[in-house]
Each structure stands twice: as C-alpha cells, then as structure tokens.
Amino acid sequence: MALRAGKSAPGWRTIGVLGGMGPAATADFMARLVAAVPAQRDADHPRVLVDSNPHVPDRNGALAGGPSPGPALAAMAADLVARGAEVLAMPCNAAHGWADDVLAVPGARLVSMVDAALAEAVQLRPRAIGLIAVGATLDARIYHDRSPVPVIECDRALVQPAVDRIKAGDRGRHVRAMLAAEAARLGAAGASVVIAACTEVPLVLRPSDVPVAFIDATAALVKATLAAAAK
C-alpha cells in the first residue's frame, strides 16, 4: 500500500528539517541522517521533509539589532507540521536561540541540538566544556545556561572568519588548521571536552585534530532525531 502524503515509513515518524543555515551544513546533516539508518532498502528510511531556507535572517545580525529569525523559523515549522512532520530538527546551533518561536507552533516537536550535544559531553564528566561557535550562539548563552559545568568560549574573532570561509566553500588545510589551533587553545585553557557548536565546523574539523574529547553537535543531533522519530 502506498504511503499517504505526510506519512512516514512503518516504524518511523515523519521528520521535518528547518535548514539552509547554511545549505552545506544542512546537506551534511541529511547525508549523516541517511547513513545512520540501518536500512536494507529505500522503504526502511523515515520520510524527511526539508525546508532549506538560506534567507532566514542572519542570527549574528539579529543579536546586533537586525531582523529576528524567529518569525521565519516559526513559519517554516508551521509549514512542515502542516505537511505531516511529527519531529523537527534544526541543524543550526545559533538558530536555537529562537527555539521558543518554533516550539510555539501548534504540533511542533523540536529536537534540541544543544541538549543533544551537551548530553553527550556530560557523559564524559568534563571539568569544563570548550565551545567552538559563532557570536550569536555565544551571546544567546544557549549552551552556557544548560551546561552543568563551566563553559570556555572560543575566540570569536578567529572562529567567525573561519566559518565565513567554510560557508564560501573553503575546506582547505588553512581553515582546518585555524580551527584545530583554537580547539587546542580551549584544551589548554581547561576544557576537557570541546563541542563543535557550529554546523560548519565539522565540515572541516575532525576528532583527530582535537587534543581532547570532541563532540560534533551535528552528529549528536542526528542520533537524537532518529531516536525521537523511532516508533
């Protein structure tokens, strides 16, 4: 029997993805989501509805007084829910500063990327957590206020240009070395775990580049999303 519109495969709830922040990070999340399903055939995967919207107002700009991304995110969530999404994922850390706008949408069930990453970090019993993130994520304190241990911030003057370069397509050795050096600095400053709290960062940075335990927030979101979508 064919699946009706909005329905997922047996065993799965339909997943809705609020993406486009940025497009490459959304594509990375989707590729990992597919790879993480122990599927033998197409029909073993969940149905996934994706809104990759690169025109959501800039999160850094919003905290500097620009337009809020909240209304756009809420509209995306409402559309995905109306189309049948039962679980929502948002592969952008900074956008979680406006998670309440998404959660205010009737029927919206958002899997928190922040909570997923912190849950994995806390399992390692860190003395402090280092964050590699852009200014909007740091200023919104979405990790700080949820973490049970101190948070050590990255040098945003270094990380933001690196993220901008990745968004522009640069995944070369220099930008990777920039982020690896910052991860090492966080470790030297007392962080026993470093979270890649920007979805562009794991496009270039790998666990082998980091001298302490490394948590990839995108990978954590994939696991949490599939757990929430499983029936």
Q: Which two tokens stand for residue 51?
A: 């809104």
129-132, strands of its sheet edge to edge: 151-153, 129-132, 193-196, 213-216
- For residue 130, the cross-strand partners are 152, 194
Q: Which residue of the set 87, 99, 105, 198 is catalytic?
A: 198
Which stretches of the chain are DSSP H helices? Answer: 23-36, 59-63, 70-82, 99-103, 113-122, 135-140, 156-167, 173-188, 217-229
Residue 92 appears among annotated catalytic residues: yes
Is the peptide bond preceding residue 84 cis, with omega within 30 degrees of 0? no
Find, among 133, 155, 156, 157, the residue nearest to 144 by Cα.
133
101/77 Cα distance (integer angstroms) = 9
- Give yes or no for a contact between 46 and 40, defined as CB atoms under 8 angstroms apart: no
DSSP secondary structure letter of residue 57: P
Find, among 120, 124, 102, the residue nearest to 111 by Cα.
102
Q: Which residue of the set 25, 33, 74, 92 is catalytic?
A: 92
171/145 Cα distance (integer angstroms) = 31
AA identity, residue 203: L
Catalytic residues: 92, 198
